[in-house]
């Protein structure tokens, strides 16, 4: 099944393949750039109307045909500024010129834009092979980031009839154990059945309405040189493979994209593999709650009172607020290990999308230093997040008359904040924690961001973890 979600980067060429150079220029430097070209090429590019506008491509002629390519950057920066490179002629091979402004952004932008998902089509694609790129020197981490992005997109794009809870657990196990580094002193286990009912009762309740049984994936790994004193990085991901809303049924239009509701788990898997690929000197723990929120005679009902791993009892104010029930058990379990840093990822609330739109992930954090590092890391790698407050005044909105708390607020405001406050109740004291409320999806195709699943906040979190480890 791995051919459906963990593919090689087919857009890359070998280092010794014959290739043509790619150059990039901004409008402010265009005159000097033209002056540095051979006269014939300079005249050709100028007379073709090339102005270095963002996303424009120009091809330079040579004695044997095309000699080079020039990308206009405009005022843009980051990987998406280079996404137009995927529009280079089919069946051509390229390399980045030595003086290109940002080889890392150019490489990632090319790979992001080269992604397509057609592995479920029965016929071979009729289109010609797209352009290929020779990676720049020492590109191992860039290749890891690009492949993790393809992995996350693939997992989210898989339909729920193919990727249910057990299949998601199998995919996570397969991806993580296939790493040579992970096989050394690592464990990956799946908790289901009676053990899940006992140890993760809220997750069991969420998945009880589906004939496809819920489960929890727990993976642990130590990087080379890591010991018992090395930082423990703990990742948790919401893996609801399809969300009908339960008895609080979603409208059909709102259900159309609910195969993406496991996007948090997919992002956690991709991030874990980036950490492993880089052999960071950390202890790593990954927990994924895999379930399907469906409707049946066994499904949880509005006003049911559920037991959680933490011992708190939660009244179900709305069965469509199931993601926080999945995460609460995972966060309790992770907190028991006293991690140095605890991150969770979830496609949790529509309110976050109303506040920030589809491109910016909502960040909640209980530690100012960690929050600042995450925000700076997000800006540095052009993977946007925006911090929203864990506003304590809204905590009482989760009060219940019959249980320790409700899973929704008594007021129709601040839905993303209230969801984060719910999760915070299950984070152990003194633990540095960040919660990412992500969309995990591109509504339409734009350069470098094809319609479908997307690895939101993954590269930002990875950069912040690298900085955290360096400072430890």
- Residues involved in catalysis: 250, 324
| Number of residues that this document lists for the chain | 472
Query: Measured on CA atoms in the order 344, 442, 176, 200, is the torsion positive or negative?
Result: positive
d(CA 432, CA 367): 6
DSSP 62-131: ETTEEEEEEEE-TT--SGGGGGGGGGSPTT-EEEE-TT-S-HHHHHHHHHHHH----TT-SSPP-SPP--
Burial of 37 from C-beta contacts in 10 A (0-12 / 13-18 / 19+): middle
Q: To 5 degrees, how large is the angle CA 262–CA 267–CA 268?
A: 100
SS3 content of the chain, % helix, strand, coil (to 5): 40, 20, 40
Alpha helices in 316-408 (DSSP H): 323-335, 350-356, 368-381
Helix (H) or strand (E) holding 201: helix 201-207
Residue 243: other Cβ atoms inside 10 A: 27
């Amino acid at each position: 099944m791995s051919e459906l979600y963990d593919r090689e980067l087919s857009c890359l060429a070998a280092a010794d393949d014959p290739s043509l150079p790619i150059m990039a220029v901004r409008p402010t430097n265009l005159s000097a750039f033209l002056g540095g070209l051979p006269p014939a090429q300079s005249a050709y590019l100028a007379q073709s109307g090339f102005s270095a506008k963002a996303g424009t491509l120009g091809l330079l002629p040579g004695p044997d045909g095309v000699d080079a390519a020039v990308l206009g950057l405009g005022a843009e920066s980051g990987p998406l500024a280079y996404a137009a490179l995927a529009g280079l002629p089919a069946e051509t091979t390229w390399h980045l010129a030595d003086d290109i402004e940002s080889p890392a952004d150019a490489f990632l932008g090319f790979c992001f834009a080269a992604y397509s998902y057609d592995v479920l089509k029965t016929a071979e694609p009729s289109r010609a092979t797209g352009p290929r790129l020779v990676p720049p020197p020492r590109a191992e981490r860039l290749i890891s980031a690009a492949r993790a992005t393809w992995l996350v997109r693939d997992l989210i794009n898989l339909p729920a009839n193919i990727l249910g809870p057990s299949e998601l657990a199998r995919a996570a196990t397969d991806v993580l154990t296939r790493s040579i580094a992970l096989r050394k002193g690592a464990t990956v286990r799946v908790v289901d059945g009676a053990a899940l009912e006992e140890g993760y009762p809220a997750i069991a309740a969420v998945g009880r309405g589906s004939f496809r049984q819920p489960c929890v994936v727990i993976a642990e790994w130590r990087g080379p040189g890591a010991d018992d004193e090395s930082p423990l990085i703990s990742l948790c991901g919401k893996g609801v493979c399809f969300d009908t809303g339960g008895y609080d049924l979603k409208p059909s239009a709102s259900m159309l994209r609910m195969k993406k509701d496991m996007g948090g788990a997919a992002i956690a898997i991709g991030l874990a593999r980036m950490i492993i690929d880089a052999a960071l000197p950390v202890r790593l723990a990954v927990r994924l709650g895999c379930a399907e929120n469906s409707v049946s005679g066994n499904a949880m009902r509005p006003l049911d009172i559920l037991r959680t791993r933490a011992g708190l009892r939660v009244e179900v104010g709305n069965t469509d607020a199931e993601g926080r029930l999945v995460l609460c058990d995972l966060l309790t379990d992770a907190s028991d290990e006293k991690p140095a840093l605890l991150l969770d990822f979830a496609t949790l609330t529509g309110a976050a999308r109303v506040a920030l739109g589809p491109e910016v992930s909502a960040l909640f954090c209980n530690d100012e230093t960690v929050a600042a590092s995450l925000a700076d890391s997000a800006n540095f790698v052009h993977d946007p997040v925006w911090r929203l407050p864990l506003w304590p005044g809204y905590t009482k909105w989760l009060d219940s008359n019959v249980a320790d708390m409700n899973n929704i607020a008594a007021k129709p405001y601040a839905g993303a904040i209230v969801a984060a406050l719910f999760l915070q109740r299950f984070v152990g004291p003194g633990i540095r924690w960040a919660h990412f409320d992500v969309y995990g999806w591109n509504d339409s195709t734009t350069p470098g961001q094809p319609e479908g699943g997307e690895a939101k906040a993954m590269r930002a979190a990875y950069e912040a973890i690298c900085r955290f480890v360096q400072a430890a």
